[in-house]
């Protein structure tokens, strides 16, 4: 269950690098216990927002609270409850896995047996316990990322910020990572904020904010965002798409969009239409799929731009 | 606004645990890079042997050396200068790693942690200081070969002063390295600023008592570092003061001020939030 306590509250935040405006009046909240995604193409403002929330960049305008602490005046408290997994590793490659985590623990005031048991637990959970004595430089990119995540969770943060967590992970490792993130959210009642430019990664979030040119152009659950586009999406392949298109338009009075040899129809209650179309024109149809609109459709609809 | 649950808070890191852990990391990294050990200790040692032999006959001992009651060879004159060079090189090597830490991403992890920026700076400086002391200590063990002998108290004073000087020089390196994005830039500053500072401190040759050189020496904080070390080495003799050899009290005072200013600047620089800190 999601609670309604904001883990992050951002109001009217603006940020510019000199002349270039990166964030242009952002207001949103992330609630405790949710996995919140920040989706957008590169250059949309995700990284800037990530850096502000992780206290690396100052707030130029607007206000932001993290875990109830003010991001400008209570930085030390914010840093204490925050775990940050950077896109580029923050591990010291010349040290072993164990040494990296030990130093990390010390930076958060952990020590002794408590620290050691946390290190062992963390490495165990991420499946890298047997590599603990190896130099980080000897590990593959995927394993380094796991150690990176273990590092950011060592002090049991209330809020975990992950910047493009799937970078450098193969599909199997990515599925594992998301499984683990969901477990964490349950087990540690952790709030997770993920930035991503991958549409299918965004699907895994509880709620999603879409950033474009420094503004939040959409914010809702992935399902709600998709259904805001227009019900279901019917995709039909045919040997003679031209003729089929005019037949369907004549018969059912719907808008048919032709993309290559495919016909796309957006419509509420798409399954009813599907049944009727197949009954009427079954012989001239090679294949047909019924699905929800994708997040890419949402982005295109809200911004009038291609996502890629 | 809801306050976060108290039980989720881990212990505050305080000052000394992070300082120690960052310093320990410096030591481990240093020892894993053998070339650095050779560079910081070997090069000054080589200078000492080669210049000592090469400049033996052309060296004119400064006036204060008469107090010693024996001839001051160039090798002996150069001895404290080499000790300070070891400290300087170690300070350079340990602060150039700030640029690497930034590039490799380690620094961003430290910056988002709840440690104070003073702890961050002191961690780096303590690491540099300990490395300096280990290496300078090895070198000082050679002092008896020069006919310089010292008792325990004197040894403790020398080590204590070298620690202070190492703090100051590492902090100076910190101030130079923090704003830089490339190690090339640091090398330029090193040859244009740090090496001349050492050359014109009385480490390499006794300065004149008049002319522009005497003013450079007077304004050079390292002159006071070399002078204090020289006076501590000849603890039993009362050396007369001169521009190249200020009194012990003045020398220590200037070195303390130098350290405080550089540490202060380091903390100010490290406290600034900047897009350079994120990768």
**Main-chain phi, psi angles of A26, to 5 degrees:** -90, 135
Judged by average pLDDT, the poorest of A72-86, A129-143, A229-243, B234-248 is A229-243
Q: Which of B76, B82, B83 is nearest to B147 (CA)?
A: B76
**pLDDT tens digits, B128-177:** 999 999 999 888 888 887 777 788 888 899 999 999 999 999 999 999 99
CA distance A30 to A220: 11
Token output for A255: 């808008």
**pLDDT tens digits, B261-279:** 999 999 999 998 887 776 5
Burial of B181 (0-12, 13-18, 19+ CB in 10 A): exposed
| pLDDT average, residue stretch A117-136 | 92
Token output for A17: 């690098």
Pairing of strands A20-31, A6-17: antiparallel
Locate all alpha helices (DSSP H) within chain A, ordered by sequence: 46-53, 75-81, 97-107, 112-125, 141-153, 171-187, 199-202, 222-230, 241-252, 270-281, 295-303
CA distance B171 to B177: 10
Smallest Cβ–Cβ distance between A109 and the set B2, B17, B33 belongs to B17
Q: How far is A209 from chain B (nearest CA, A)?
A: 22
Q: How far is B4 from chain A (nearest CA, A)?
A: 6
Q: Which of B162, B158, B174, B135 is nearest to B39 (CA)?
A: B135
Predicted complex ipTM: 0.87
Of chain A, the percentage scoring pLDDT greater than 90 comes to: 46
**pLDDT tens digits, B70-116:** 888 998 999 999 999 999 999 988 899 999 999 989 999 999 999 99
Inter-residue contact B125 to B94 (CB < 8 Å):
no
H/E segment holding residue B271: helix B248-271
Instruction: Find all residues with CB under 8 Å of B146, minimum gap 6, and list them.
Output: B73, B75, B76, B79
Report the half-sphere exposure of A77 (CA within 13 A, side-chain side). Answer: 14
| pLDDT average, residue stretch A68-85 | 93
CB atoms within 10 A of CB A162: 25
Nearest CA in chain B to A51: B278
Q: Is A122 left (phi over 0), alpha (psi -120 to 50) or beta?
A: alpha
Inter-residue contact B213 to B238 (CB < 8 Å):
no
Residue B260 pLDDT greater than 90, yes or no? yes
**pLDDT tens digits, B239-248:** 888 888 899 9
Mean pLDDT of chain B: 88
Q: Which of B225, B215, B228, B112 is nearest to B172 (CA)?
A: B225
| pLDDT average, residue stretch A148-167 | 91
Judged by average pLDDT, the poorest of A150-159, A271-280, B203-212 is B203-212
Strand residue runs (E) in chain B = none
CA distance B243 to B228: 13
Asked if the C-beta of A199 comes within 8 angstroms of chain B's C-beta atoms, the answer is: no
Hey, are the CB atoms on B2 and A68 less than 8 Å from each other?
yes
Residue B38 pLDDT greater than 80, yes or no? no
CA distance A51 to A46: 9
In which residue are the tokens 């152009």 written? A217
CA dihedral A158, A161, A167, A171 (to 10 degrees): 40
CB-defined contacts A:B, below 8 A: 120
| pLDDT average, residue stretch A218-242 | 84
Hey, are the CB atoms on A57 and B25 less than 8 Å from each other?
no
Instruction: Find all residues with CB under 8 Å of A60, minimum gap 6, and list them.
Output: A14, A15, A16
Which pLDDT does position B222 carry in this prediction?
96
Which pLDDT does position A184 carry in this prediction?
83
- Put simply, the chain A residues between 5 and 44 with a CB less than 8 A from any chain B CB are 5-6, 9, 17
Which pLDDT does position B8 carry in this prediction?
46
- The larger pLDDT score, comparing residue A18 to residue A103, is at A103
- Put simply, the chain A residues between 104 and 133 with a CB less than 8 A from any chain B CB are 104, 106-111
Q: How far is B179 from chain A (nearest CA, A)?
A: 15
Inter-residue contact A59 to A72 (CB < 8 Å):
yes
- The sign of the torsion formed by the CA atoms of A73, A74, A75, A78 equals negative
**pLDDT tens digits, B196-215:** 999 999 889 887 777 888 88
Burial of B15 (0-12, 13-18, 19+ CB in 10 A): middle
């Amino acid at each position: 269950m999601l609670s309604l306590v904001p883990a992050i509250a951002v109001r009217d935040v603006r940020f510019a690098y000199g002349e270039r405006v990166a964030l242009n009046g952002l207001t949103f909240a992330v609630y405790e216990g949710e996995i919140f995604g920040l989706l957008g193409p590169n250059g949309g403002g995700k990284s800037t927002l990530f850096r502000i929330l992780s206290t690396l960049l100052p707030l130029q305008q607007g206000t932001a609270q993290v875990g109830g602490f003010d991001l400008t005046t209570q930085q030390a408290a914010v840093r204490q409850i925050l775990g940050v997994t950077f896109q580029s590793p923050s591990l010291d490659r010349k040290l072993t896995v164990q040494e990296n985590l030990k130093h990390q623990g010390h930076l958060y005031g952990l020590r002794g047996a408590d620290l050691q048991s946390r290190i062992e637990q963390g490495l165990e959970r991420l499946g890298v316990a047997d590599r603990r004595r190896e130099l980080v430089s000897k590990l593959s990119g995927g394993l380094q990322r796991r150690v990176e995540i273990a590092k950011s969770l060592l002090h049991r943060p209330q809020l975990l910020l992950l910047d493009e967590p799937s970078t450098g992970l193969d599909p199997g490792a990515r599925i594992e990572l998301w499984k683990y993130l969901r477990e964490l959210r349950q087990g540690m009642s952790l709030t997770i904020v993920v930035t991503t430019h991958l549409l299918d990664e965004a699907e895994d979030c509880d709620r999603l904010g879409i950033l474009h040119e420094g503004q939040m152009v959409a914010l809702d659950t992935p399902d709600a965002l998709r259904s805001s586009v227009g019900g279901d999406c019917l995709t039909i392949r045919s040997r003679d798409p031209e003729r089929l298109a005019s037949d369907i338009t004549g018969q059912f009075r719907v808008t048919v969009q032709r993309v290559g040899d495919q016909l796309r129809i957006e419509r509420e209650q798409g399954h009813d239409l599907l049944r009727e179309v197949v009954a009427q024109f079954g012989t001239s149809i090679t294949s047909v799929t019924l699905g929800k609109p994708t997040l890419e459709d949402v982005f295109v609809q809200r911004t009038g731009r291609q996502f890629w | 606004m809801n306050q976060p649950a108290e039980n989720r808070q881990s212990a505050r890191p305080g000052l000394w645990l992070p300082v120690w852990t960052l310093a320990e990391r410096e030591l481990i990294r240093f020892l894993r890079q053998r070339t650095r050990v050779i560079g910081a200790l070997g090069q000054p040692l080589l200078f000492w042997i080669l210049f000592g032999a090469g400049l033996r006959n052309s060296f004119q001992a400064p006036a204060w050396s008469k107090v010693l009651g024996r001839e001051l060879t160039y090798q002996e004159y150069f001895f404290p200068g080499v000790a300070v060079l070891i400290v300087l090189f170690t300070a350079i090597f340990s602060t150039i790693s700030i640029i690497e830490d930034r590039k490799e991403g380690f620094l961003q992890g430290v910056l988002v942690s709840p440690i104070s920026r003073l702890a961050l700076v002191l961690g780096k400086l303590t690491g540099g200081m300990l490395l300096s002391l280990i290496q300078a200590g090895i070198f000082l063990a050679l002092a008896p070969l020069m006919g310089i002998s010292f008792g325990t108290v004197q040894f403790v004073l020398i080590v204590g002063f070298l620690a202070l000087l190492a703090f100051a020089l590492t902090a100076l390196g910190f101030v130079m390295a923090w704003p830089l994005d490339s190690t090339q830039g640091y090398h330029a500053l090193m040859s244009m600023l740090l090496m001349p500072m050492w050359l014109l401190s009385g480490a390499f040759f006794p300065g004149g008592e008049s002319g522009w050189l005497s003013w450079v020496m007077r304004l050079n904080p390292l002159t006071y570092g070399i002078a204090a070390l020289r006076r501590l080495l000849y603890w039993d003799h009362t050396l007369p003061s001169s521009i190249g050899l200020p009194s012990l009290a003045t020398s220590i005072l200037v070195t303390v001020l130098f350290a405080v200013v550089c540490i202060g600047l380091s903390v100010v620089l490290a406290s600034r939030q900047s897009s350079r800190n994120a990768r």
